């Protein structure tokens, strides 16, 4: 079976469309509601979903995602439970799932075992946030061995040599940060976004998707015009915090206009 991420981008290219990628924290606010949130994103038309593993020391995350991780951990979420959530989602959906995680939970679970079990559960890719690039090729052989795509992060201040190395080693799609800083920080995408995307494309034919600071349909449309996909995270997670009584419904309402804005954009991608 072809990897779902690869298949999704093949279909998007064939229909001249850009991808909408949603990020949520697994287990926020609890297992059952988290599954409903995943289904709400799926029903709204998200092309790919990033599922964050809750971790007690998420250094790259802003306060919104930190609080989401705290809520998930308090609800009893563990790495094993995240994989159960993936299996539960797979019962009704083939939408690609990317596990977005720090190294600590992966090492605690067991590096090889994590990738094996993630693939068996139905995950399609892994983004290891704090994996040093110099260690990536050796460490990530486990992901490739189980058919998981290895997603890379590239920031605006990534040196050209390292950008070339990361882009060349990327699979599935490249997560390009629209600006520096932690997730959920103030400010929209950088005005130099198009130049950054083109710089990355010179080193890779893998789709370039942009995230960080995207929270409105206007911003989503602007980013979609420059990149192959749009990634929205903290703005979605914030809906869970703001609407504790009905988070799945709130998430669905929030993402629909963003997804619609991305779907309206046409143009050649990678």
Mean pLDDT of 31-55: 98
Catalytic site residue from 28, 47, 61, 140: 61
Parse the chain into domains and list their residue ranges.
4-263
4-263 domain in CATH 3.20.20.70? yes
- 194-221 pLDDT, tens digit each: 999 999 999 999 999 999 989 999 999 9
For 136-155, write each residue's pLDDT tens digit: 666 667 777 899 999 999 99
Q: Count CA within 13 A, CB hemisphere, residue 136.
A: 22
- Do 54 and 69 form a contact (C-beta atoms < 8 A)? yes
63-78 pLDDT, tens per residue? 999 999 999 999 999 9
Cα distance between residue 140 and residue 121, in whole Å = 18
* pTM score: 0.94
Closest CA to 174 of 209, 149, 124, 204: 209
CA distances (Å), origin 86, targets 12, 53, 80, 119, 253: 23, 11, 10, 10, 23
Which of 6, 50, 124, 171 is the catalytic position? Answer: 50
Q: Is 61 a catalytic residue?
A: yes
Between CA 201 and CA 10, with CA 261 as vertex, the angle to 5 degrees is 45
Average pLDDT value for residue range 103-129:
95
Annotation says 50 is catalytic = yes
Strands (E), 68-136: 97-101, 125-128
């Amino acid at each position: 079976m072809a990897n779902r991420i690869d298949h999704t981008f093949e279909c998007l290219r064939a229909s001249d469309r850009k991808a909408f990628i949603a990020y949520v924290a697994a287990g926020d606010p609890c297992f059952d509601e988290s599954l409903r949130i995943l289904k709400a994103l799926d029903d709204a038309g998200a092309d790919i979903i990033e599922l964050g593993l809750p971790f007690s020391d998420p250094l790259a995350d802003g306060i919104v995602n930190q609080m989401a991780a705290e809520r998930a951990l308090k609800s009893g979420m563990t790495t094993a439970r995240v994989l159960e959530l993936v299996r539960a989602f797979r019962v009704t959906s083939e939408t690609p799932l990317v596990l977005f995680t720090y190294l600590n939970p992966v090492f605690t679970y067991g590096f090889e075992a994590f990738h094996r079990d993630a693939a068996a559960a139905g995950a399609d890719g892994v983004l290891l946030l704090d994996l040093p690039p110099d260690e990536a090729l050796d460490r990530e052989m486990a992901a490739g061995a189980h058919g998981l795509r290895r997603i890379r992060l590239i920031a605006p201040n990534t040196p050209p040599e390292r950008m070339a190395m990361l882009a060349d080693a990327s699979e599935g799609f490249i997560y390009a940060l629209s600006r520096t800083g932690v997730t959920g920080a103030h400010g929209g995408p950088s005005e130099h976004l198009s130049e950054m995307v083109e710089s990355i494309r010179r080193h890779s034919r893998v789709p370039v998707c942009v995230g960080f600071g995207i929270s409105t349909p206007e911003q989503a449309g602007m980013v979609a015009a420059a990149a192959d996909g749009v990634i929205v995270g903290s703005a979605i997670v914030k809906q869970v915090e703001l609407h504790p009584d009905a988070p799945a419904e709130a998430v669905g309402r929030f993402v629909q206009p963003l997804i619609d804005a991305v779907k309206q954009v046409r143009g050649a991608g990678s």
